Chain A
Amino acid sequence: DAGVIQSPRHEVTEMGQEVTLRCKPISGHNSLFWYRQTMMRGLELLIYFNNNVPIDDSGMPEDRFSAKMPNASFSTLKIQPSEPRDSAVYFCASSPLGGGAYIQYFGAGTRLSVL
């Protein structure tokens, strides 16, 4: 399996623009997680899905952030409008089963720079 695939790997945009990050989980995994990593705040869980349904979005910082999972093989994280403080590395992870006992497999991340 190719693992969790994220695109793009790098994104540079200007403040106010819309940004869409994409994630393809490992086939057969039914849990998907979006994280944000910054030096100041470390690794933060933004939202996670089970079977394409959002379960917990309490980590989404504000209404400018939205996430969707239209099917089992694709998810997006959208920021509209983007701000410089959104600059971070965004990770997607998938897990084969629900429940905290199970391993999360991470993508390589998208490094977002908002100018």
Chain B
Amino acid sequence: AQSVTQLGSHVSVSEGALVLLRCNYSSSVPPYLFWYVQYPNQGLQLLLKYTTGATLVKGINGFEAEFKKSETSFHLTKPSAHMSDAAEYFCAVSDRTDDKIIFGKGTRLHILP
């Protein structure tokens, strides 16, 4: 069965600093991987996704993630944090056998001025 583990339910970074949110997955087949973001009182929206091909994927708002099969990881990064990045971030995985995607527990990102 597929699963996702996000390390750290809360992460704090200073404005302008590197953002690194960690995600490890488990899947018996090559997965599709996603990062979603949830701003307060809103639904989730897609940041980026990996399906096949290039392992470094770029998303909206300057975020990117790298698929590392050997490490079963899909960490999310952004070189320079902005106050507007404060939100909850969800990593998700699909094993492509059906339409479901499995979400991690989420990481709340706090940006310190």
Whether B96 lies near A99 (C-beta < 8 A) is yes
Would you give the 0/1 interface string for B58-102, flagging 1 where the beta carbon is closer than 8 Å to chain A?
Answer: 000000000000000000000000000000001000111111111
Whether B90 lies near A106 (C-beta < 8 A) is no
Q: Which residues of A contact B106 (CB under 8 A)?
A: 42-43
Would you give the 0/1 interface string for B12-54, flagging 1 where the beta carbon is closer than 8 Å to chain A?
Answer: 0000000000000000000010000000011111100101000
Whether B100 lies near A93 (C-beta < 8 A) is no
Residue of B nearest to A44 (CB): B103
Q: Which residues of B contact A109 (CB under 8 A)?
A: 41-43
- Interface residues in B, total, Cβ within 8 A: 23
Whether A95 lies near B99 (C-beta < 8 A) is yes
Asked whether B110 is an interface residue with its Cβ less than 8 Å from the other chain, the reply is no
Residue of A nearest to B42 (CB): A108
Cα–Cα, bound, A109→B41 (Å): 8
Of A48-56, A61-69, A73-81, which stretch is located at the interface?
A48-56
Q: Which residues of A contact B99 (CB under 8 A)?
A: 31, 33, 48, 50, 55, 95, 98-100, 102
- With contacts A43-B90, A100-B32, A101-B32 taken as known, whether A56 is within 8 angstroms of B98 at the C-beta atoms is yes
Whether A106 lies near B45 (C-beta < 8 A) is yes
Q: Which residues of B contact A93 (CB under 8 A)?
A: 43-44
Distance in angstroms from B40 CB to nearest chain A CB is: 11
Taking Cβ atoms with an 8 Å cutoff, the residues of B that contact A are: 32, 41-46, 49, 51, 90, 94-106
